[in-house]
Structure 1
Amino acid sequence: MLSLKNVSKIYQNGSEVTHALNDVSFDIEPNKVTVILGPSGSGKSTTLNILGGMDRPTSGTVSYNGNLINTESDGQLTNYRRDIVGFVFQFYNLISNLTVSENVAISAQLKGNKYQEMTEKYLDKVGLSKRKNNFPDQLSGGEMQRVSIARALAKSPKVLLCDEPTGALDTETSQRVFKILKSSKNQDTAVVIVTHNPLVAPIADRVIHIKDGHLDKIINNPSPLEVEEVDWG
């Protein structure tokens, strides 16, 4: 579905050169949960930005269903982000002056989906139907993150990219969020979770380890655990 081949990313600030990624290659497959795992500064967020069409590699190729996306125009990348990718961020990025329902509906409308139907469906999926008329500042952190997941899913993304989606949440709430994300994979959707937390790895079908901008190793897990089976310490 989504493929990085020999991708490198270099940032230059005056004479200072930073190699954020160096010759990284891997594939993202539908109907799987892929965890991109690495410490802070390892290049995993840069990887997510490139997968999501928010940044371009310095060299190498990024393709979706065999079509190169790193050579597309800014307008084409905007369409890719709108039509193909759903984003779940660590700090939610909800629109503060819109209700829960409106935050989700605006995403479904961008894709041209039946927004009322999709809004109700995914708020129910994340257990927040009764909070649909509340504003973000009336919600807990876990509730806001669940709204952000519903918002991402309401556009029926082919790739769901999650950047440290539980970094600001307690353990119990994190488990609930991971259960929702894990259940979101299907034959049309790939779920990608970027995290520094190794405890997340057992729930994934594939774990891609990034270290110092390099691909360290890829571990395929034929029998991923359910969230409640993991020892969260």
Structure 2
Amino acid sequence: MDEEFRAVIDLEGVTKHYEVGPVLVTALGGIDLHVSAGEFVVILGASGSGKTTTLNLIGALDTASSGKITVGGRDLSNSSRSELFALRRETVSFIFQSFNLFPSLTATENVEFGMDVSGRRDSADPEEILTSVGLSHRLGHFPHELSGGEQQRVAIARALATGNPVLLADEPTGELDFKTGSQILELLAEQADSDRVVLVVTHNREISRMADRVVEMSSGQIVSDGPPPGGKTPLSELRW
């Protein structure tokens, strides 16, 4: 696969329905979305708007009811289970709202695990990456010894360490104070370059002001897609 196409995301007419008892619930009502390499995109919306569903479909954690999803040049609807596993290992990295850390591994070991899964154990220094997210003093600590904000930073470090070209973050500053959240957002924004796409899901409109693009969702539909109103705002001017 050509490197220049690895970090491109395309959704065409994508729907997602869930059966809740006798009721068919529509989470996505047929959306189109294209994200190019180098973009830092915020998907904005209230709870239930479809933003996390969209992220899960892009990351092959769920399957669409209809439509076409292409990530890194791969058509997810025509991919085998092993191909989807390879996509999650080599192309997509997730930062989960619930952290998903291994309780029996230290902060450093959690990051090393992410590097092992993606086959990039020798491509970066896990301690360096943890230091970059402000955890140089917590390298040997286990998740239960860390605060919620510190656990979130370990999860972010693990995602960054893979070097994968598609980085998906679900409410990455949800457990962080303003100072730490600002540091994390700056790190995420820096990851968007010619080789990587960064998508951040949030309900926080203030955070969306620092994005290249804001995709706003409501009731399973994209209601707007473009630069933040008033243009991209420097991190130093954000308050949330």
Q: Quick check: TM above 0.5?
A: yes
- Give the residue type in structure 1 aligned to 2:236: E
- Give the residue type in structure 1 aligned to 2:234: E
Structure 2 counterpart SS, 1:130? coil
**Structure 1: gaps of 5 or more residues:** none
- Aligned 8 A contact 2:12 2:33 in 1: yes
Return the offset for 1:86: 0.8
Return the offset for 1:176: 2.2
Distance 2:124 2:67 in 1: 40
Aligned to 1:50: 57
Distance 2:199 2:124 in 1: 26
1:44-86 superposed Cα distances (whole Å, 9 cap, x missing partner): 1110100101111111000124431122112211110111111
Residue pairs, 1:81-100, within 5 angstroms: 81-100=88-107
4+ aligned runs moved over 6 Å, structure 1:
none
Which residue of the other structure, out of 194, 202, 218, is the alignment partner of 1:195?
202
Aligned to 1:147: 154
Q: 1:177–1:117: structure 2 CA closer, same or farther, 3 Å change rule?
A: closer
Residue 224 (1) aligns with residue 232 (2): yes
Return the offset for 1:164: 1.0
- Bigger drift between 203-212 and 59-68 goes to 59-68
TM-score by length of 1: 0.93
Distance 1:166 1:96 in 2: 21
Return the offset for 1:125: 2.1
- Aligned 8 A contact 1:28 1:190 in 2: yes
Structure 1 counterpart SS, 2:31? strand
Distance 2:144 2:185 in 1: 23
RMSD: 1.7
Residue 204 (1) aligns with residue 211 (2): yes
Residue pairs, 1:130-145, within 5 angstroms: 130-145=137-152
Distance 2:151 2:123 in 1: 19
Which residue of the other structure, out of 81, 86, 89, is the alignment partner of 1:79?
86
Return the offset for 1:116: 8.1
Residue 118 (1) aligns with residue 108 (2): no
TM-score by length of 2: 0.91
Q: 1:103–1:115: structure 2 CA closer, same or farther, 3 Å change rule?
A: farther
Q: 1:27–1:138: structure 2 CA closer, same or farther, 3 Å change rule?
A: same
Return the offset for 1:225: 2.1
Aligned to 2:3: none
- Aligned 8 A contact 1:152 1:160 in 2: yes
Distance 1:155 1:98 in 2: 17
Aligned to 1:174: 181
Structure 2 counterpart SS, 1:191? strand
**Structure 2: gaps of 5 or more residues:** 1-7
Distance 2:123 2:225 in 1: 40
Structure 2 counterpart SS, 1:7? strand
Distance 2:200 2:124 in 1: 27
Paired residues in the alignment total 232
Aligned to 1:165: 172
Q: Percent identity?
A: 38
